[in-house]
C-alpha cells in the first residue's frame, strides 16, 4: 500500500511543480494554501517507505495508511481538477468567440470557482495535516530515497524465458508421456492428474509434454484449456471447442454446444489438457466427464491441479505427484537467474550465501527464479551477506506456501513498479495481457513518468517498466513478434494472488464469487460472463471515487445505461466497455453514452466491438484529456499524451 501511496505523492508533487504552481496561482491565487499542501505531502512521502515496513507488524500503522490513502487520492483528484480547468480556459480562449470567452471568464464566474476550490484545498490540506500529525505516534523514520535496486542491466535480452522448462523435469516428462502413450488401459478416455503445490511448474511440465514430438505423433487431436477458479461446464465446453477447431465459438445454447463438441472429438484419439483445476465439486466434474467419453480408445485427459482432492476425484490413472527440484537442479536454476550468463562467481562467500537462499525456496522453481532475479543486481560480498542475514529471516515460510518469498521480491521493487504490478490484479487469472494496452492503461493513470531523455516517449518508458517486471519474473509466458518485441504475457496464479494481496481495497474484481464493491475502490473490473446490467450498476454507484472500470467482454444480455451507471463516477480515468470478439458476437447498438462528456478526467475509452463509427455522441468532443480512443479491436483511433 505504501508503495502505491509513494507514487500518488509523487504525482501530487508533480502537479505542484514550480510551473504548475505558478499557473494555478496566477489564475486563482491559492499561493499560501498550495505551499502548505505541498509541504505536508512532502513530509508524508518521506515516511511512507518506513511505514510500509512497519505495517506488517502494526495494525495501527496499517489503519493510518488506509486513512492516508483516501486523503491522498482525494488530493490528487482535486489537483487534477485544477489542471483540467486550466486547460479548458486555454482551449476556450483559443477556440471560442470573444463573447463566449467574456461570459465564461466573468468576474462572478471566476470568483465562485475560486471560492469553491479554495475551500476544498483548505479542507484537504487540514485533513492531511491531521493524518501527518498522527504519524508522530509511530516514530516513523525519514527516508526520502528508496533503496537502490536492480540497476544492473542484463545483457541477455531473452533471459526472461522460463529456464525451469528444461531443468530438473526430464524424469517427470518421461513418466507422464509414458502414461499418456500407454495403450493397455481399458477405458477409451483415461484421466491423469499432475498434482503439486503452486509454483512447482505443473503448467510448464504440461506444456513441455503437449508440444513434444512423441505426443504430436501419437494423438490425432490436441486441445488445451485453462480452467482456473471458475469451473463452469458450459464455459469449459466452449473453450474445448475453440481449441479443437481453432475458431472462436458464437454464444450457443448448451445442447448445441454439446452436439458441436461430439462432432469434433467423438471417435478421435485426442489429448485434452485441463490446466489449473480448482473445483472439488464431483457433480460438476461428472457432468463434464460424461461429455468427453466419446473419444477413440487411447484418448487421454491431462489435469493439472494443486488439490489432491481434485486429483482423487478426476483420476483413472494414478496421479503424478510433482515434487520440488532437487538441490543440484535448484542451484543450477538459481545461477541462471542470479548471476551474469549463469556463471557461478568465484567468491565463496557469495556462493555460500546463495545456497542458503536457495534452501529457503524449497525446490519451488517460481520462488528460485524470483529470488534469483531479485539478487541479480547484487555483486558485492557485503550485499549478499546483508540480504542473507537481514532480509531472508523475515520470510516466515509456511509449508506449501511461497507467497512470503514472492512478497519479499515485491518489497524490493521501486515504488513506481509496485503500483504498476498491483494494478494488474484487475486482469482475470490466466488472461493473455496485451502489452500495448497495459502500457496505455498505466499512462492513463499517470503511473508512467517522463524520463530525462527528451527523445523517449511515455510508451517507451512504460515498456521499460514492463520489461523490468518481466525480468524480475512478475510476468511469464512472454510472446514476441517478429522483431523480438514482447507483445503478450500472462501472470502466474501466485503472482496474481500477490498482486491482489498488495492492492488491498483499492482494487475490486467482480466475478461469480465476489459481488460486492468496497466503497474505497478506485479500480474495478468485471470478469467474463458476468451480466453487468443485473445488479452491477447499483454496486458501482457505491464506488463514486472509481478511476477505472474494465469489463472483459460484455454479454449479449448486457444493456447498460452508462449515463445512470457512471454518472456519480466523475473521476473515471479509464472506461472499457468493449464487446469481446473472442467471447461474443459483435453488437449493433451502443450503450447510452449521451453524457459521457461530463467525465472530464477520462483518459482511456474503449468501445471496440460495437458497430458505432457513426453513432458516437457529440459530447465525446468535450473529453479534452482523452489520450486513447479504441473503436475497433485492432485500431487505436486516437492516441494523444499531454505531458
The 3-class secondary structure across 425-489, one letter per residue, is HHCCCCCCEEHHHHHHHHHHCCCCCCCCCCCCCHHHHHHHHHHHHHHCCCCEEEEECCCCCEEEE
Domain of 243: which CATH number?
Answer: 3.40.50.300
Domain boundary among 412, 435, 470: 412
Cα–Cα distance list, 339 to 359, 374, 378, 385, 465 (Å): 17, 11, 9, 16, 21
In a domain, 162, yes or no: no
CB atoms closer than 10 angstroms to residue 150: 19
Task: Say which range, 31-35, 293-297, 614-618, has the weakest mean pLDDT.
Answer: 614-618
Answer yes or no: do 226 and 291 share one domain: yes
355-369, 405-419, 608-622, range with the lowest pLDDT:
608-622
**Left (φ > 0), alpha (ψ -120 to 50) or beta: where does 402 sit?**
alpha
The answer to whether position 33 is within a domain reads: yes
Which positions ≥6 away from 108 have C-beta within 8 Å? none
pLDDT value of position 587: 44
pLDDT of the residue at 506: 83
Model pLDDT for residues 334-359, shown as the tens digit of each residue: 999 999 888 999 999 999 999 999 99
How does DSSP assign 517-537, residue by residue? --TT-SEEEE-TT--TTSSHH
Q: What's the whole-number average pLDDT of the chain?
A: 81
Which of the 8 DSSP states describes residue 394? G
For residues 317 and 330, membership in a common domain is answered with: no
Residues 267, 175 share a domain? yes
- 301 and 267 within one domain: yes
In a domain, 163, yes or no: no
Phi and psi (nearest 5°) for 486?
-75, 125
Q: Which of 138, 161, 186 is the last residue of a domain?
A: 138
Structural domain contains residue 566: yes
8 Å CB contact between 191 and 293: no
Query: Which long-range contacts link 452-461 to residues 24+ away (Cβ below 8 Å)?
Result: 457/641, 458/641, 458/643
Q: Is the pLDDT of residue 108 over 60?
A: no
In the chain, what is the greatest distance between 2 CA atoms, to the nearest angstrom? 91
Q: Which of 367, 393, 412 is the last residue of a domain?
A: 412
Alpha carbon separation from 87 to 10, 125, 404, 458 (Å, rounded): 21, 24, 46, 20
- Same domain, yes or no: 425 and 331: no
- Distance in angstroms (rounded) separating the CA atoms of residues 296 and 228: 27
Find the domain containing 367 and state its range: 325-412
The total number of structural domains that make up the chain: 4
Note whether 292 and 180 are same-domain residues: yes
> What gap in Å lies between CA 500 and CA 63, rounded to an integer?
18
477 and 507 both lie in a single domain: yes
Q: What is the mean pLDDT of residues 137-162?
A: 55
Q: Residue 526's pLDDT is what? A: 83
Residue 155 within a domain = no
Residue 152 located in a structural domain = no
> What is the arithmetic mean of pLDDT over 383-392?
90
Closest by CA position to 116, among listed 235, 30, 181: 30
In a shared domain, residues 389 and 367:
yes
Same domain, 489 and 587: yes
Judging by DSSP bridges, how do beta strands 628-630 and 636-639 pair with one another?
antiparallel
Q: Check whether 153 has a pLDDT greater than 80.
A: no
Count CB atoms within 10 A of the CB of residue 515. 11
330/313 same-domain check = no
Angstrom distance (rounded) from CA 4 to CA 311: 39
Looking at residue 101, what is its pLDDT? Answer: 47
Task: Tell me 234's DSSP state.
Answer: H
Runs of H (alpha helix) within 549-623: 562-565
Confidence bin at 543 (pLDDT 50/70/90): confident
**423 with 391, same domain?**
no
Q: Is the pLDDT of residue 175 over 80?
A: yes
Who contacts 305 (Cβ-Cβ below 8 Å, separation ≥6)? 193, 194, 195, 202, 276, 277, 278, 311, 314
Give 205-221 pLDDT, tens digit per residue: 999 999 999 999 999 99
Q: Are residues 406 and 450 in the same domain?
A: no
Give the cell for residue 437.
494496452
| Position 148 pLDDT exceeds 50 | no
Does residue 160 sit within a domain? no
pTM, rounded to two decimals: 0.81
Is 63 contained in some domain?
yes
* Over residues 167-179, mean pLDDT: 93
Amino acid at each position: 500500500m505504501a508503495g502505491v501511496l509513494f507514487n500518488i505523492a509523487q504525482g501530487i508533487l508533480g502537479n505542484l511543480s514550480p510551473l504548475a504552481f505558478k499557473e494555478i496561482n496566477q489564475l486563482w491565487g491559492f499561493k499560501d494554501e498550495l505551499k502548505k499542501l505541498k509541504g505536508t505531502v512532502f513530509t508524508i512521502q518521506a515516511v511512507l517507505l518506513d511505514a510500509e515496513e512497519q505495517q506488517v507488524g502494526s495494525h495501527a500503522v496499517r489503519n493510518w495508511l488506509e486513512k492516508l490513502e483516501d486523503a491522498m487520492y482525494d488530493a490528487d483528484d482535486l489537483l487534477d481538477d485544477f489542471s483540467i480547468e486550466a486547460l479548458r480556459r486555454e482551449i476556450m480562449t483559443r477556440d471560442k468567440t470573444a463573447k463566449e470567452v467574456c461570459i465564461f471568464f466573468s468576474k462572478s464566474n471566476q470568483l465562485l470557482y475560486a471560492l469553491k476550490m479554495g475551500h476544498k484545498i483548505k479542507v484537504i490540506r487540514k485533513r492531511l495535516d491531521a493524518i501527518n500529525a498522527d504519524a508522530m505516534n509511530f516514530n516513523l523514520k525519514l527516508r526520502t530515497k528508496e533503496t537502490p535496486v536492480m540497476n544492473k542491466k542484463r545483457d541477455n535480452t531473452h533471459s526472461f524465458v522460463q529456464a525451469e522448462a528444461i531443468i530438473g523435469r526430464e524424469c517427470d516428462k518421461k513418466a507422464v508421456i509414458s502414461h499418456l502413450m500407454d495403450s493397455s488401459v481399458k477405458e477409451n478416455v483415461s484421466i491423469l492428474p499432475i498434482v503439486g503445490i503452486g509454483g512447482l511448474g505443473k503448467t510448464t511440465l504440461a506444456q513441455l509434454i503437449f508440444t513434444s514430438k512423441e505426443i504430436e505423433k501419437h494423438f490425432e487431436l490436441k486441445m488445451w484449456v485453462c480452467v482456473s477458479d471458475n469451473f463452469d461446464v458450459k464455459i469449459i465446453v466452449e473453450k474445448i471447442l475453440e481449441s479443437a477447431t481453432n475458431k472462436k465459438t458464437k454464444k450457443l445454447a448448451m445442447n448445441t454446444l454439446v452436439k458441436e463438441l461430439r462432432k469434433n472429438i467423438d471417435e478421435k484419439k485426442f489429448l485434452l489438457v485441463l490446466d489449473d483445476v480448482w473445483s472439488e465439486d464431483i457433480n460438476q466434474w461428472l457432468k463434464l466427464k460424461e461429455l468427453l467419453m466419446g473419444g477413440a480408445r487411447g484418448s487421454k485427459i491431462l489435469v493439472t491441479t494443486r488439490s489432491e482432492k481434485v486429483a482423487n476425484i478426476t483420476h483413472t490413472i494414478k496421479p503424478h505427484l510433482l515434487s520440488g527440484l532437487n538441490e543440484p537442479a535448484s542451484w543450477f536454476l538459481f545461477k541462471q537467474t542470479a548471476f551474469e550468463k549463469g556463471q557461478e562467481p568465484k567468491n565463496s562467500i557469495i556462493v555460500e550465501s546463495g545456497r542458503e537462499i536457495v534452501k529457503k525456496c524449497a525446490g519451488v522453481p517460481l520462488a528460485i527464479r524470483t529470488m534469483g532475479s531479485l539478487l541479480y543486481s547484487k555483486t558485492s560480498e557485503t550485499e549478499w551477506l546483508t540480504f542473507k542475514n537481514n532480509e531472508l529471516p523475515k520470510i516466515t515460510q509456511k509449508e506449501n506456501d511461497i507467497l512470503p518469498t514472492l512478497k519479499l521480491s515485491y518489497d524490493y521493487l521501486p515504488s513506481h513498479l509496485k503500483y504498476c504490478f498491483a494494478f494488474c490484479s484487475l486482469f482475470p487469472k490466466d488472461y493473455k495481457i496485451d502489452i500495448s494496452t497495459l502500457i496505455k492503461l498505466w499512462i492513463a493513470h499517470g503511473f508512467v513518468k517522463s524520463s530525462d531523455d527528451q527523445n523517449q516517449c511515455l510508451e517507451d518508458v512504460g515498456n521499460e517498466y514492463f520489461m523490468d517486471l518481466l525480468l524480475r519474473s512478475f510476468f511469464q509466458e512472454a510472446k514476441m513478434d517478429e522483431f523480438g518485441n514482447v507483445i503478450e504475457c500472462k501472470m502466474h496464479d501466485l503472482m496474481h494472488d500477490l498482486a491482489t494481496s498488495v492492492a488491498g481495497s483499492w482494487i475490486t474484481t467482480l466475478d461469480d464469487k465476489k459481488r460486492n464493491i468496497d466503497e474505497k475502490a478506485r479500480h474495478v473490473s468485471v470478469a467474463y460472463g458476468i451480466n453487468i446490467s443485473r445488479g452491477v450498476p447499483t454496486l458501482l454507484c457505491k464506488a463514486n471515487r472509481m478511476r477505472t472500470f474494465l469489463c472483459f467482454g460484455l454479454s449479449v444480455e448486457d444493456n447498460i445505461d452508462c449515463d445512470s451507471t457512471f454518472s456519480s463516477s466523475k473521476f473515471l480515468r479509464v472506461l472499457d466497455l468493449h464487446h469481446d470478439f473472442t467471447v461474443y458476437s459483435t453488437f449493433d447498438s451502443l450503450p447510452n453514452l449521451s453524457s459521457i462528456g461530463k467525465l472530464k478526467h477520462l483518459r482511456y475509452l474503449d468501445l471496440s466491438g460495437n458497430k458505432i463509427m457513426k453513432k458516437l455522441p457529440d459530447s465525446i468532443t468535450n473529453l479534452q484529456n482523452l489520450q486513447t480512443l479504441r473503436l475497433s479491436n485492432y485500431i487505436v483511433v486516437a492516441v494523444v499524451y499531454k505531458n
